Amino acid sequence: MALNQELLLPTFYAPPDDDDEVKPQYWRGLRLIGVDGTDLVLPDAPELLAVFGGRSFKIADRHKPWHPYYGQTRPGALAVVSYDLLNHLAVDARFKPAPVMKP
């Protein structure tokens, strides 16, 4: 996303010239940004466990004994994306250690 932040977004949102083919769309003069996130179960690798930490799949009611990761501690991350809804453009994306689930 560094390329987006440094090159694409400043160019796309720059004040338009009359000859610009693509002009950004605005809602009442504002950018309309949607944000969504999800929990990710990462591959079981020691390097990922060191960076993102582990998540236990036995502590929440929603993880039943038939769940494929039941009883395991796996690396987990939280992925969050900010998206310009009118211009169909990802504005930012982040991966960070997932919050610890409490029983």
Q: Report if residue 13 sits inside a domain.
A: yes
Query: Is the pLDDT higher at 21 or at 35?
Result: 35
Say how many residues make up the chain: 103
Q: Report if residue 50 sits inside a domain.
A: yes
Q: Report if residue 102 sits inside a domain.
A: no
- So what's the pLDDT on residue 83? 95
SS (H, E, C) 21-80: CCCCCCECCECCEEEEEEEEECCCCHHHHHHHCEEECCCCCCCCCCCCCCCCEEEEEEEE
Q: Report if residue 69 sits inside a domain.
A: yes
Q: Report if residue 66 sits inside a domain.
A: yes
> What is the domain extent for residue 77?
2-97
Q: How far apart are CA 58 and CA 65, in angstroms?
A: 8
HSE on the CB side for 67, CA within 13 Å?
16
pLDDT tens sequence across 47-87: 988 888 887 765 555 556 666 666 677 888 889 999 999 99
Q: Report if residue 73 sits inside a domain.
A: yes
Q: Report if residue 103 sits inside a domain.
A: no
Q: How far apart are CA 69 and CA 7, in angstroms?
A: 41
Domain count for the chain, please give it: 1
- So what's the pLDDT on residue 76? 84
Q: Report if residue 59 sits inside a domain.
A: yes
- So what's the pLDDT on residue 100? 60
